[in-house]
Amino acid sequence: MNILWISDGKKGHEKQVEILLNEVSKTENIIIKKEIIEINKFSQLLELATYSASLLIGSLFLNTGKFLKYDEDNIDIIIGAGSSIHLRMLLIKNYLSNKGNAIKVVSILTPSFYRRKFDIICSPLHDSDKLSVAKKNVIFFEGCLAKVSTNEVEENIGFIGIGGTNKHFAFDQDAIIIQIEFLIGLYQQKKWFLFTSRRTPNEMVDKIKKIALTNKNLIISDDNYDEIIEKASIKVVTQDSINMIYESLSTKGQTLLFNMKYIKINKIVNQINILLSNKRVGYVENVQMVDGLDKIKIISQNMHNDVFAEVEKVAYKLIQELRTKSI
């Protein structure tokens, strides 16, 4: 199975595609060619116009100089994640199909345009409302496609994942800092590895660095993310970080969420509330006392929960769909 992976170079998108392809490779013989493409807004609009025109009058006018390089690759499947490259995937398929090649195109995450033109869409369940016109070709998954680990955890390691400014939850820096200090004090025997994201404000990073200066058990880390989240016995994540939450749930150990206030009810907030109500995750509770003082405590998740294995389910369904579609 020859796979052309079109990437936008974004770490979050690449990670989900890579994890899925790794899972597929456990049962299928696949050859992967990866191409990173940067497409700005103007180029994306141009490709939208080009693809729309190709549907009306055929693909013969496509820029063959751009696509000629794919002629010798014997591509069976085109796969990719990210709205900026979805149209490029369809254009490549059109070009090769015009030459008689039977190409299947697989979108990881929900495309913005021409959803029915994708042979298969692997989409998070919270986007189901966007895909009512294309559900026959959709494989849904909960959260994100994360690496699954059933390895035992190490009791002396803790993981903290910090997101940042977002449209779902109020990112109260001081409230999160208080909770970080509480966790470090509560679990003094643990070495805590803290990871930020590209959304984390610089001001927040500075506040965390001040804590690390006075507490040797807090390590601000950029390396070994997958290794640490797999080994940590307790993972504590901000509620805005959906990917980190499900990456944690795909490993053993306890997953807790920082106490945060939602901005407005939406599909992401609802998804978090379902995890909380089903005790799939625990949380840090901040109780307002009568005398005006706050009391913080940990509400644990149901420790009998199974490790999330969404990528295994998606890989199995994807293989079955591709076989049905005669790849």
Q: What is the per-residue pLDDT across 172-194, written as a single tens digit (0 to 9) for each?
A: 999 999 999 999 999 999 999 99
Asked whether the predicted pLDDT for residue 60 surpasses 60, the reply is no
Q: Is residue 257 part of a domain?
A: yes
CATH number of residue 40's parent domain: 3.40.50.2300
pLDDT range class, residue 52, cuts 50, 70, 90: confident
Same domain, 136 and 243: no
Same domain, 120 and 190: no
Q: Is residue 271 part of a domain?
A: yes
Same domain, 174 and 260: yes
pLDDT for 29? 94
List all residues 6 or more positions away from 51 whose beta carbon is below 8 Å from its beta carbon. Answer: 87, 90, 91, 94, 113, 114
What tokens were used for 71?
A: 């002629």
CATH number of residue 253's parent domain: 3.40.50.2000
Same domain, 128 and 203: no
Max distance between CA atoms of the chain, in angstroms, equals 76
Asked whether the predicted pLDDT for residue 236 surpasses 90, the reply is yes
Same domain, 134 and 49: yes
Same domain, 169 and 239: yes
Asked whether the predicted pLDDT for residue 166 surpasses 90, the reply is yes
Same domain, 163 and 277: yes
Same domain, 90 and 186: no
Same domain, 209 and 125: no
- Is 115 in contact with 106 (CB distance < 8 Å)? no
Same domain, 171 and 81: no
Our count of domains for the chain comes to 2
Asked whether the predicted pLDDT for residue 85 surpasses 70, the reply is yes
Same domain, 111 and 172: no
Q: Is residue 306 part of a domain?
A: no
Phi-psi region of 174 (alpha: psi -120 to 50; beta: other; left: phi over 0): alpha
Q: Is residue 33 part of a domain?
A: yes
pLDDT for 323? 82
d(CA 261, CA 108): 30
Q: Is residue 200 part of a domain?
A: yes
Same domain, 162 and 209: yes
Q: Is residue 20 part of a domain?
A: yes
Q: Is residue 304 part of a domain?
A: no
pLDDT range class, residue 241, cuts 50, 70, 90: very high
Could you list the residue range(s) of the whole structural domain that residue 165 is in?
154-299
What tokens were used for 1?
A: 């199975």
pLDDT for 295? 77
Beta pairing partners, 257: 237, 283
Q: Is residue 18 part of a domain?
A: yes
pTM of the model: 0.87
